[in-house]
Structure 1
Amino acid sequence: MDTYSFEDFVGDTDVFFTQYFDRRPLLRRGALAGRLAGLPSVRQLDDVLALETVPPSYLRVTKGGKGVPSGAYTRTVARGAALAEALNPEKVYELFRSGGTVTWNSLHHVLPSARRLREPFADAFATEAEVVVFATPARTDGFSPHHDSIDVFVVQVDGTKTWRVWDTPEHRRGDEGSYTPEELGEPALEVTLEPGDVLYVPHGTPHAAGAKSELSLHLSVGVEPRRWRHLLQDTVAALVEDDDFHAFPHLADGAEAAVAALTAKVELLRDRLARLDAADEVKRLLDTGRSRHGAGRTREFARLAAIDTLGPGTLIRRTVTPVEFGSTADGKTGLQVAGHRLNVPDAVADALRGLDGERTVTAAEFFPGVPEARSVGVARGLARLGVLEAVGAARGAAGTADGGH
C-alpha cells in the first residue's frame, strides 16, 4: 500500500515554499499517476454511505450551486428507545443521479485511506488538516466561483474536472466568499484535471470547477497554517504557565496599584521572552502542532501490542511526553505524567533524566542494579504511559489524536 510524502504532492519543497505557498496556485500534472489505489475511491464511498453510524452532518449535497436541505436525504431510525437521524443512501443516490454534487467532510474520521492522505500535510505544516471528498456527476458544475479561507490541495482520483482559477489577490479576506463571473473576468488558469493530477490553491484565491463527460471524484486536503499570531500566542501561553503568573490580581484595588502590578508582570514576561531559546521553542511548536487533535493518527492498540513484546535487548528512548519530576524522599522520586502521579526509585528517575535528547539504552539496562526482568517490566510500564518507546517507533505522546468545490 502506498505511503505519501509532502514532496509527492508539491515537488521540491524549497521551490514550493519560496515561489508558490501563500502566493499563487501550483499545478502538478501526474504527480500521483499510478499511485491512487491507496486513496479513497468511489467504491469506498458506497461503503461509507451504507454505514448507519456515520452522522448525516458529515455529508452535504448541493444542486444548482445551492445546498440541499438534509431532510431530503436522511431518515429517522430507532436505536433502542431513542430516535436518531441517519443517511438514506437511496435518496443520496437519487439526488446524485439528478445532478447533485455529494461532499463528504472530514472523511479521515471514517476511512484509514483518507488519514494516510492527510498525514504528510499535518506533518509539513504542524497543524490540523482535513480531507474532503467531492463526487460530481458527469456534465455538472460543482460550486459557483468562490474562495476558501484555507489552503487547498486537490487530488483528482476518478474522471476529469475542469478548474478555473483566478489570480491570488494581494489583500485577502479571511472568510469564505462567492463571486459572479462578471466580477472576476478571465481566469489566470483553466485546466482539466485528470487522475493523478494535483492542484494547490492558496487561501483567498477565487476558483470554480465542473465535471466533464464522466463522474468526477476529487479529494481536497484543507490546511490552515498557523500564522505568527497563533504561534506567538502559543509561546506566550506556555511561558505564563509558570507559577510567577499564577496569582489572582485584584484590579479594583486602585488604579495606581493595578498599573504597577501589571507593569511588573509585563516586564517579567518580557524578560522571559528575551531569554527564550528560539531553536528550542521552534522544536516545541512543531511537536505541539503535530500532536494537536486532528493532526496525527491514533495507533494506540498497535503501540500497546508492541510494548508487550518489548524484550531485554530492545533499545528504548524518551518520548516528547512531558514528565514533571517532584521531590525525593526515602529513595523514591515523585513523577507526574499524563495525569498520573507515580513514586519511582531514584535510579529510575535518574535513568529518565539521562535519556534526554536522542540517547538510548536497552530495556535490560534501563533500571541499573536490579534483575533484568524487573528492569524490562519497569520500562514496559513507563512505555504504556507514553514516556518511553522502542527506537524506530513514531515519536510523540501516547494516544496522539488521529488524529466546497
Structure 2
Amino acid sequence: MTTDAIDIDQPMALLGGLTPQAFMRDYWQRKPLLIPQAIPGFTPSLSIADIKTLARREEAESRLVTHGERGWTMKRGPFKRLPAASQPNWTLLVQGVDLHDDATAELMRRFRFISDARLDDAMISIATDGGGVGPHDDSYDVFLLQAHGRRRWRVSQQADRALVPGLPLKILDDFRPEQEFTLEPGDMLYLPPHACHDGVAIGDCMTISIGFRVPSRAVLARGLLEAAADQVSAQFLDDPGLYGQPCLPGADLSGLYEDAGTSATRQPAALPEALIASTLDTLRQVRLDQAVAARFLGQWLTNLPDSALFDPADEAILLAESVPVDGRLVLDRCTRLMYGGGQLFINGEVAPAAMQATLETLADRRWLPAEAVRTLPPDALSMLDEWLEEGWAHWRD
C-alpha cells in the first residue's frame, strides 16, 4: 500500500480546487463543504454485490437499517440473508472496508493531508430507493463520497440535537434542514462534527464515508493515566528492563512508605492523613510528560480492530541477510505505523529498532525503495524481517 506525498500548498481537485492548507483553515471542524466532482468519473472498486458479500463475513462489522410501517429497525451482521433489492427503504452499512480492499485503502489515504492520528476508516453504505439512517448528527468529521447512483443530503447547523426517544438509532426529534444537495458519482460532501444531516437514496446507491476519530478528553485522560500506571509497573515493580530505558525519568518510586513516630490511634478504621499525603506526593513524582503521552497515543492509535487480517508471503525474504537490488518495501493496507517522542509505533506495539529518519519516511510514505532500505542498520533490517514474516509489510518488485 503506497502513498504519494501530498503538496499541502497546491490546489486539489479532491477539495474543489482548494489547497489542503486553505481547507483546514476555512472548513475543517467549522462548516460543511460541497465538492462537485471531487473525483471525476469515479467508479468504486467494489460493487453493491461485493458489499453484500462482505456483510456476510464474520470479520466485517455491518449493520442493516430499515424504515417502514413499523418504524425504524436496526440489526447487526453478519447477515446470511438481506432484503430484496426491489424492497425500498433499507440501508446496509459496512465499517472498515479499507481493511478488506486495497483500492478502498488507497482512496482513504488520499486524505492524508490530515494526520493519521485522526484518520479512522472507510465505511461503505448501500441503499435501495428511500434508504437512509434518518436525520442525525455525528461527533466526528466525515467526507461523504458518492460512489454509485444518487443520494439527497439535507444539512443543518441547528443547535437543537434532541433525539426521538425509544429508537434503536439516534434520530433527531426536530430536524430543520437549511441546505439541500443531490450528489452523483464523484461528488463529495464534507461535514464537521455535529452538523445535522439526513441522506436519502434516490434509487439504488452507494456512498463511501471517510471518517475521522475524535477522542473525548475523558478517554485521553484515562488512557494517559493507565499508560503511566503500566509504565510504573514495568519500571519499578515487574520488569525494569521491559522498555529498555526509564519510561518515567526523574521519578523515585523505589522506596517504601514510612510512618515511624506515628501515634497510636483511637480510630483504626480511619484512613491515616499521612498515608493520603504520601500517596499524593508519590503521584506528583510521576511526570506525565510528552514522552509518556506519545507512548500512550502511539500504541493506542495504531492498535488494530479485530477485523484486520494479514496475509504473509509464502516465502519471506530476509533483508538482514541481503536487500534485493530492485523493488520496494510496502506496508500492508491494514498496518498502522506512526512515530512520536523519538519512538516508532506499529499495530499497537512499540517498535524495537532505534528511531531514524528513514523509518519516519516509511511511516509517512508507507513504502521505501530498495536503496533506502539498504541504508538501514542491522537492527532495523531484522525488525523489518519480522514485519514481513507477520504480513505487516510486503516486498514488491
TM-score range, shorter chain: 0.5 to 0.7
Given the alignment of the two structures, is residue 131 of structure 1 paired with residue 112 of structure 2, yes or no? Answer: no
Q: 1:224 to 1:312 in 2, by over 3 A?
A: closer
Secondary structure (helix, strand or coil) at the match of 1:87 reads coil
In structure 2, distance between residues paired with 1:382 and 1:217: 40
Aligned counterpart, 1:256: 273
1:210, CA displacement in angstroms? 1.6
In structure 2, distance between residues paired with 1:229 and 1:303: 44
**Residue by residue, what CA displacement relative to the aligned partner does 1:133-152 show, whole Å, maximum 9, x if unpaired?**
222223x1523322223332
Aligned counterpart, 2:72: 66
1:112, CA displacement in angstroms? 3.6
Asked if 2 retains the 8 angstrom alpha-carbon contact of 1:128 and 1:294, the reply is no
Match of 1:34 among 29, 41, 61: 41
Aligned counterpart, 1:198: 188
Q: 1:44 to 1:309 in 2, by over 3 A?
A: farther
1:322, CA displacement in angstroms? 12
Q: 1:44 to 1:29 in 2, by over 3 A?
A: same
In structure 1, distance between residues paired with 2:22 and 2:169: 28
1:160, CA displacement in angstroms? 1.0
**Residue by residue, what CA displacement relative to the aligned partner does 1:191-235 show, whole Å, maximum 9, x if unpaired?**
1111111112223222112223x3211122332223455445444
Secondary structure (helix, strand or coil) at the match of 1:134 reads strand
Asked if 1 retains the 8 angstrom alpha-carbon contact of 2:312 and 2:391, the reply is no
Q: Which runs of 5+ in 1 are unaligned?
A: 75-84, 325-337, 341-348, 368-377, 390-396
**Residue by residue, what CA displacement relative to the aligned partner does 1:234-278 show, whole Å, maximum 9, x if unpaired?**
444444413356999899783313212222123213xx24xx3x5
1:125, CA displacement in angstroms? 4.5
Give the alignment's TM-score, normalised by structure 2. 0.62
Aligned counterpart, 1:358: 357
Q: Which amino acid aligns with 2:121?
A: E
Q: 1:288 to 1:133 in 2, by over 3 A?
A: same
1:382, CA displacement in angstroms? 4.2
Alignment of 1:2-401 (within 5 A): 9-10=14-15, 11-37=18-44, 39-48=45-54, 53-54=57-58, 58-64=62-68, 66-67=72-73, 87-88=80-81, 92-94=82-84, 96-108=85-97, 109-119=99-109, 124-127=115-118, 129-138=120-129, 140-167=130-157, 169=159, 177-180=170-173, 183-185=174-176, 187-212=177-202, 214-240=203-229, 241-242=231-232, 243=236, 254-269=271-286, 272-273=287-288, 276=289, 278=290, 287-288=298-299, 290-294=301-305, 301=312, 305-307=316-318, 311=322, 356-358=355-357, 366=377, 381-386=382-387
Q: Which amino acid aligns with 2:143?
A: F
Aligned counterpart, 2:362: none
Q: 1:98 to 1:176 in 2, by over 3 A?
A: closer
Asked if 1 retains the 8 angstrom alpha-carbon contact of 2:67 and 2:131, the reply is no
Q: Percent identity?
A: 19
Secondary structure (helix, strand or coil) at the match of 2:50 reads helix
Q: Which amino acid aligns with 2:67?
A: K
Give the alignment's TM-score, normalised by structure 1. 0.61
Asked if 2 retains the 8 angstrom alpha-carbon contact of 1:118 and 1:131, the reply is yes
In structure 1, distance between residues paired with 2:72 and 2:303: 34
Q: Which amino acid aligns with 1:29?
A: P
Asked if 2 retains the 8 angstrom alpha-carbon contact of 1:156 and 1:219, the reply is yes
Q: Which runs of 5+ in 2 are unaligned?
A: 237-251, 259-267, 330-337, 344-348, 360-371
Secondary structure (helix, strand or coil) at the match of 2:40 reads coil
Asked if 2 retains the 8 angstrom alpha-carbon contact of 1:172 and 1:204, the reply is no
1:130, CA displacement in angstroms? 3.3
Asked if 2 retains the 8 angstrom alpha-carbon contact of 1:128 and 1:293, the reply is no
1:13, CA displacement in angstroms? 2.9
In structure 2, distance between residues paired with 1:224 and 1:339: 21
Q: Which amino acid aligns with 2:126?
A: A
1:155, CA displacement in angstroms? 0.8
Q: Give the helix-richer structure, 1 or 2.
A: 1
1:283, CA displacement in angstroms? 5.9
Q: Which amino acid aligns with 1:255?
A: P
Asked if 1 retains the 8 angstrom alpha-carbon contact of 2:294 and 2:341, the reply is no
Q: Which amino acid aligns with 1:97?
A: S
Q: 1:320 to 1:307 in 2, by over 3 A?
A: farther
- Paired residue total: 323
Q: Which amino acid aligns with 1:358?
A: A
Q: Which amino acid aligns with 2:40?
A: A
**Residue by residue, what CA displacement relative to the aligned partner does 1:270-308 show, whole Å, maximum 9, x if unpaired?**
xx24xx3x5x67765664455222499766625983546
Provide the alpha-carbon RMSD of the alignment: 5.0
Secondary structure (helix, strand or coil) at the match of 1:259 reads helix
